[in-house]
Every structure is written in C-alpha cells, then in structure tokens.
Structure 1
C-alpha cells in the first residue's frame, strides 16, 4: 500500500479517457506539485510530455518517474523561462524529441506572498519575471509551431486571489495571475482563426501530495513566504466556510486542464474557469 492509499487525499480524479494519443505537450513549472499532476494526466491520456522547470534536477527526476508510471515519452528541460531565448530553446527541444507541440500549459510561477511594502526591488523584479515574462515568452515561442500545424491549445494556470482580494498576493495574484486573464483573452482573439485556443484555469488552495514533491522541493521559501504571512493566510482560509470545504486534489486541477488542452475543447477559447471549490463564483 502506498502512502497516498494509506492516507488518501479527498478528491483524487481517476482517468477514464485517452484524448492525447499522437499528441505532444509542454508543461512548465513541472518539477513538482500541480505541474507534475498536470503532466501525469496528459501522459496517462496518451501524450508525450516535456516537463520544463528552473529546477533542472527536479524536472529530470519527475520526468523519469512519470515515464516509468505511464510508459509515455517524457522529457525534461531545465532553464529560466523568463529570460530571452530560453522558451524558444524549450519549444525546439520538444520539436526535436516529439516532432510536434499540440499543447502548452503555462504553470510556472514565482510564488512570492508578502505585503507590498515589504518587497525589495530584487523581489519585485523576480515576481514580475516569474509571473509575467515566463507566460509571455512561452506563449510567443510556441505560437509559430501551432500556427503552422493549424492546431494548438494553450492553457494558463491562474489563481483566484485576484478575484477574491486575498491579502499578500499583490504581485503573485494581482499583477501575475490577474494580468494572465487579460493575456488569455487577447491572445485567444489573435489566434482563433489558426485553430488555436487559449484558456485559463484558476485554482485556489491545493493539497500537497508528498509523492509529487521532487528534489529541491522542501518547504516554502521563508523569504518569499514569511511565517507571519503564511499564518495569516491559513487563518483567512479557515474562516471562509463556503463552497466545498477542503483544498483541491492536484488531479482535480489537472482534469480541468486536460479538457481545455484536448481536441474536445475546440469551441472554447478566451475563457477563465475557476477550479476552486466555490471560493469565487461566476
């Protein structure tokens, strides 16, 4: 019996379809957590997957693990996707390995939660780079290939803090994830005629699955997530007794992403879907 079977996390979703046979996908921020869960779901449905992350060792570990689990061709790519040229290298790696790229999941983020007045100039730059430039550069890098194929799916991973006004999320939620909603809609408007859809999935709290935490995961960076802020966020979360009263299982996020990344979602574009148990509604 595995640890997850001995101590199950509510909400785990079982895979019952094979929508990605013959397809290839890129998932960024995929060394651990929800990124691994998304990559796993796509591979379980038949996709070849490139896991990209700034944590090169973590990406390599998770790629080996998912390849063994699913029997699919899973590759790793390490690099800082906020920097010029790195996203293009990532897409080229996927093309070299798989011959095509059908879906891009923009999950990479700089998870910095603190009061705006406490941000140093360095942390401001890191937050903007990790939460904006990565999505912009990865989307731009993959579009020529998708346009040539006349087929593509881009799924951005947002977050509900920008809708709920959650404190300590000014850069992560307000600037990063909030701007991602506008980016989703405007890119969708540009590329729809080429058979490319662009959508956004916004989780809220996500349960940690220990088996999905690769090398270098550990606890949250205390510089990026001060203990007093973490405690206050936990108190706020506990006080909101509406919707579904638990955190999401990562597979629940992955299930929504898989639909939007599949050919079934051919007439869904420019949309924002909250997968947050009702933390934000409509």
Structure 2
C-alpha cells in the first residue's frame, strides 16, 4: 500500500533513548492511533509491552506488527477493561509472563462527541464506563504489583477540551478526561512514599492516522458512527476556527510528539515528578 503523506510527518519525534530495558509496560487502547504510537515508543526504548484493547483481533495484529518491526517484545490482551475482573486478569497475566509491571498507560477511551442533551442513557453509561471505570480498574489492578516492587509509573491520558470548554465534549472531556486530572493528583498522594508516580498528559488535536501502521485499517474500529456524526465534526471544525484553536500553533500533533511526553513520565527519569498534569497540545491551553 502506498504511504500517505501525513501533514504532521515532518514533526515526528525521533527516539534517541533506551530507558526501558528490562522493564514491562501496559498500554491500554493500544490497537491503533495514539495508543499504538505509545506502545511503539516504549518498545523502541526496550520495554516489553502489553498491547491491550477491547478490539482483540486488532490488538493481536498490532502486537504482531510491532514484533516484526522491533523484536519479539509485544503481546496483546483483549478485553473490556471497564468490566469487573478483566483488568485484574490483565495484570495477573502480565505479572505471570514477565515477572513485573513497571508502567501503566491509561489511554483507552470512548470517543463520544455529542451535546449532553442529545445523548441517550446508553451513551451516558458508555461514556462513563469506557472513560472512567476502565482507568480506575486498570490502576487498581496494577497497584499491588507496583507496591510489592516499590516501583511503578502510571500515566493517564487526558485531553485539553476539559480546560477549553470545547463544545460536544461534556462527557468525553468534562467527565472522562477531566476526571483524569483529579485522579492523577489524589492517587499520586496515596502512593507518594511507595516509589510510584502518577502523572497525566493531555493532548490537543492529533493526526492519529499517522500512527505508523504499515497497512492501516479503517480508523473507526468498533465505534458506532453515531458517536461522532458528520454534522458534529463539522461544527467542531468551525468552532476551532472561530476560536483560533487549530492546534494552538496551527497544526495537528504527530502521535510521536505525545508519545515522547508519555515516555518521560513512564521512565525512571521522572522520579521526582508526580501528581502533575501537562498539556501537550501545541499551546491550545497554557498553564
């Protein structure tokens, strides 16, 4: 398949680090998009990576692709991490296979962009389930291993729309991604003296299709098209233009630019940084 000329490609961040040799990371929502780019970056730096996603076949495919590119250090895990017991099974299988869990990146999310008044009860439940419960359950599942090790890194993926009040994001950002910030600070406080740090990275607009997949599948995956109807996407584009917020500095991020920030928080180098939120959004929101 002919390579696509992604607009963000000139801004791809080259990796010059090997910070994760001998370490084990779990990345949720890693079958495609930003999660795939994060898994790639951590594996490129030497980590063994669990590619976790509700899309089982796609997660397995991604893990195989990354193994072919970077070596046999990627495995897939399929399951709905918002359901009771699934995250516990993921943590247990990871510990059994690799002997440890050094980093968890809570990236999985339900990208539902609608006005609150237009959301059905089912979508309200999904929005909370797949943006909040999965993060809580995954964090709780890995903590016993990290506490035993006296070492761990938890990185939550937020989003800048909770700070900018961007339309159509009340559930996705206001409840889902906004809650990541509060969770980051309070959980960091719980494990402050246990060698575990908890931080949050909030992207703005990302050209997620530039995730490095050599033979990309349709981006929607399992998502219902009604979650992001065309008229909403058009209204969002118009709102961004009106606010002068086309990525802050005027472009979308390459996924590797977000992955680079995540890799720092997931590494030993971030040992004195915890309970922090950083926007990696090209200045969409500042301080």
Shorter-chain TM-score bucket reads: over 0.9
Q: Choose which of 258, 261, 270 in structure 2 pairs with 1:256.
A: 261
**SS class of match (1:223):** helix
Contact 2:38 2:262 in 1 (8 A): yes
Q: 1:78 to 1:234 in 2, by over 3 A?
A: same
Q: 1:183 to 1:210 in 2, by over 3 A?
A: closer
Out of 241, 248, 269, the position equivalent to 1:238 is 241
Deviation of 1:215 after TM superposition, in Å, equals 4.6
- CA shift for structure 1 position 211: 4.2
Q: What residue in structure 1 maps to residue 228 of structure 2?
A: 225
Partner of 1:191: 191
Give the Cα separation in 2 of the matches to 1:6 and 1:155: 27
**Root-mean-square deviation (Å):** 1.8
**Farther-moved stretch of structure 1 (234-243 vs 55-64):** 234-243
Tell which deviates more after alignment, 105-114 or 88-97.
88-97
Select between 62-71 and 211-220 the one with higher mean Cα deviation.
211-220
Which residue is equivalent to 1:278?
Answer: 283
User: What is the aligned counterpart of 1:268 among 252, 266, 273?
Assistant: 273
Which SS does the other structure have where 1:82 is aligned?
A: coil
Q: Residues 43-98 of structure 1: CA distance to partner in whole angstroms, max 9, x if unpaired?
A: 00000000100000110000000111111410000000000000001111211221
TM-score by length of 2: 0.94
Count of residues in Structure 1 that have an aligned counterpart in Structure 2: 282
Contact between 1:53 and 1:77, CA under 8 Å: does it hold in 2? Answer: yes
Q: What does 1:87-106 align with in structure 2 at a 5 Å threshold?
A: 87-106=87-106
Relative to structure 1, is the Cα distance of residues 9 and 240 closer, same or farther in structure 2, using a 3 angstrom cutoff? farther
Shift in alpha-carbon separation, 1:84–1:237, aligned structure 2, 3 A? same
Could you tell me how far apart the structure 1 residues matched to 2:4 and 2:74 are?
23
- What secondary structure does 1:3 align onto? coil
What SS is found at the alignment partner of 2:77? strand
Give me the TM-score of the superposition, normalised by structure 1.
0.95
Q: Could you tell me whether the CA contact under 8 Å between 1:62 and 1:214 is conserved in 2? A: no
Contact 1:244 1:278 in 2 (8 A): yes
Per-residue CA deviations over 1:74-123 (Å, capped at 9, x if unaligned) read 00000000000000011112112211100000000010000101110111
CA distance in structure 2 between the partners assigned to 1:68 and 1:170 by the alignment: 40
| Distance (whole Å) between structure 1 residues aligned to residue 212 and residue 144 of structure 2 | 36
